[in-house]
Amino acid sequence: MHFSTKDILQHFHTTWLPGDIQAAMLRLDLIHPLVQGNKWFKLKYNLEAAGNTKILTFGGAYSNHIVATAAACKLYGLKSIGIIRGEKPAIPGHTLQKAAELGMELHYVSRELYNELKSGGEMARLMQHLLSDAYVIPEGGHNAEGARGCEDILSLTDTSAFTHVLCAVGSGTTLAGLVNANTQQEIIGISALKGAFSLEGEVESLLKEPSSHWQILHDFHEGGYAKFTPALLDTMNDFYRETGIPTDRVYTGKMVLAFRQLLQQPFFPAGSRVLLIHSGGLQGNESLKPGVLCF
């Protein structure tokens, strides 16, 4: 799949960025109109391993991974099946509508059955009509192939001058890939989930070797996955007005909020050069009321 890497490294200045700290955003949201952000990196080696097999994956009603998988499968001419957590809504949101438009066959299951299917339990054996002859990509692309793809993110352009790398964390796959790239930079994950202290173990399960150059911060979830606060929305709007960079309310907005608050602590030593990873997912903002965001 062709994607663009032109102008994806955007240095920025804001009123709240100290003069002794430099910052830039790696704009993965610009590489492709549909399979944007970190999603392509988590998918590419999975699709390579799948060959011509149909793809089955998992996600929730706001899953960027579901849309990206549907888009990638359409581009590759593969059948895609999405197992969606929760009952079918009377009016599907933008994410699920887009996945269906891209040809993904959606199946809605209870949270209990969803977890059974993910873990390959008894219920999974009862639904072999879906799982048979399918290449299964875990939720969020969380497997060795997904992490392997994310190793390539920092090599898209020259990022060697940065001392710290920030990324939002959902499944931990992207963070694991960044650590596996072995750049010796400090990799800092911002959890978008509330109380998800198992994430460290999820990341460790995908690491090629132990590393002390990473950590996950758990205090910037703003209420939990897909939750948001006025402070988050204000930060997203302020950041866009000052930099022209749009963020999403589920992941990258929380990363920018965390960065701003960490600068106030101060968390970063003077002279730090911080790279923020834009993981895409902007379609998640379309569930907000018109006018809430200025972009």
pLDDT of residue 174: 98
Assess whether pLDDT exceeds 80 at residue 245: yes
Mean pLDDT of 256-260: 99
pLDDT of residue 123: 56
pLDDT of residue 124: 61
* Chain segment 124-180, per-residue pLDDT in tens: 665 677 777 899 999 999 999 999 999 999 999 999 999 999 999 999 999 999 999
- In the β-sheet with 164-169, what is the strand arrangement from edge to edge? 9-11, 22-27, 273-278, 164-169, 186-191, 214-217
Query: Which residue has 């205090």 as its token pair?
Result: 219
Domain ranges (residues) in the chain = 9-33+147-287, 39-141
Mean pLDDT of 74-85: 95
* Chain segment 45-63, per-residue pLDDT in tens: 999 999 988 999 999 988 8
Reported pTM: 0.92
Mean pLDDT of 16-30: 98
Could you tell me the fold of the domain covering 39-141?
Rossmann fold (3.40.50)
* Chain segment 218-238, per-residue pLDDT in tens: 999 999 998 999 999 999 999
Q: Classify each residue of 166-187 as buried b or exposed e, where b means 16 or more C-beta atoms within 10 Å of its C-beta.
A: bbbbbbbbbbbbbbbbebebbb
Class of domain 9-33+147-287: alpha beta
In the chain, what percentage of residues exceed pLDDT 90?
Answer: 81
pLDDT of residue 141: 96
pLDDT of residue 1: 66
Mean pLDDT of 203-227: 97
Assess whether pLDDT exceeds 80 at residue 26: yes
Bridge partners (DSSP) listed for residue 190: 168, 217
Mean confidence (pLDDT) of the chain: 94
pLDDT of residue 122: 61
- Residue 98 identity (one-letter amino acid): K
Assess whether pLDDT exceeds 70 at residue 73: yes
Residue 229: Cβ within 10 Å count: 13
Mean pLDDT of 25-34: 93
Active site residues: 63
Indicate if 39-141 has the same CATH topology as 9-33+147-287: yes
